[in-house]
Amino acid sequence: MAFGSLLALVDDIAAVLDDVALMTKIAAKKTAGVLGDDLAVNAERVLGVRPDRELPVVWAVAKGSFVNKLILVPAALLISAFIPALITPLLVCGGLYLCFEGAEKLVHGVGAHSEEQAAEVMQQLANPDCDLAQLERDKIRGAVRTDFILSAEIIVLTLGVVEGQQYLTQLIVLAGISTLMTVGVYGLVAGIVKIDDLGLLLSQKPGSGVWHGGLRRIGAALLWFAPRLMKGLSVVGTVAMFLVGGGILLHAMPSVAQAIAQFSTQLGPLEGAVPTLCGGALGLCAGFLLVKVFDGITALRG
């Protein structure tokens, strides 16, 4: 009897773990769209920090991100347990925010904003009265606030995936995605902000011969690659915002999503791409509409 109960328990645990693995895989795909923007935003936040303080700043922001998720995950579980009808509206709000943020970058200029931000930081650093410690604390607080919004998007997207699952499955998937995203994002950010330092170190490598010459060429390549990586992440993140945000909006309109799915079945190899592209187009339209509305409100308020 005891052995049979143990086997039943093991079978239940295996079933839960199987559900967790499946849900985590789906949630990771859903939230991956936020990853590019998250990386670009957090890497930009380190702009102006002394090279020896870059990693401590990234670590401080990562700790703040864990605190954010310790707040957001229980809140998401409470919503799922007591107000499940709120999940879809929250998903739609998250999708609209992603579309708005992506359209705002296109309308107001990603590159111009980054250059203005860089010029402002350099001006602050040139001021002899600048308190570098206070500047660093301000950067950390700003990055943690931004992370709270991005983490909320990730949690809401994951909550939509695990909606209707067992409470334990929801808890494990939410905690797993939160940990995976935090470690992944800030681990990559730490690597990104140190690419130029590594490139500078290798490019100044003394010595002669093929080996040292090769290291210097690698260093020069890394110095060339670092700023382009930042720009590439920003572009990928912007495109992902429209695809993910529009996909969420499309999911909230089952009849439209079903019609698109039926139409895409007639297109053969393009069947899988059509719903994604339609979601991206919907996200693009929704984002530009929201930007125009908010610009109009801002103009009216002076």
pLDDT tens-place string over residues 182-241: 888 888 888 887 887 788 888 877 777 777 778 888 888 888 888 787 777 777 777 877
212 or 264, which is more confident:
264
Q: For residue 127, what pLDDT is reported?
A: 55
User: What is the arithmetic mean of pLDDT over 128-147?
Assistant: 72
Residue range 39-56: average pLDDT? Answer: 66
The pLDDT of 256-275, averaged and rounded, is 81
Helix/strand/coil percentages in the chain, nearest 5: 90, 0, 10
pLDDT tens track for 237-262: 778 778 878 888 888 888 888 888 88
What is the model's pTM? 0.67
Q: Which of 154, 143, 170, 162 lies closest to 58, judged by CA?
A: 143
Contact 153, 97 (CB under 8 A): yes
Query: CA 191 to CA 80: how far, in whole Å?
Result: 36
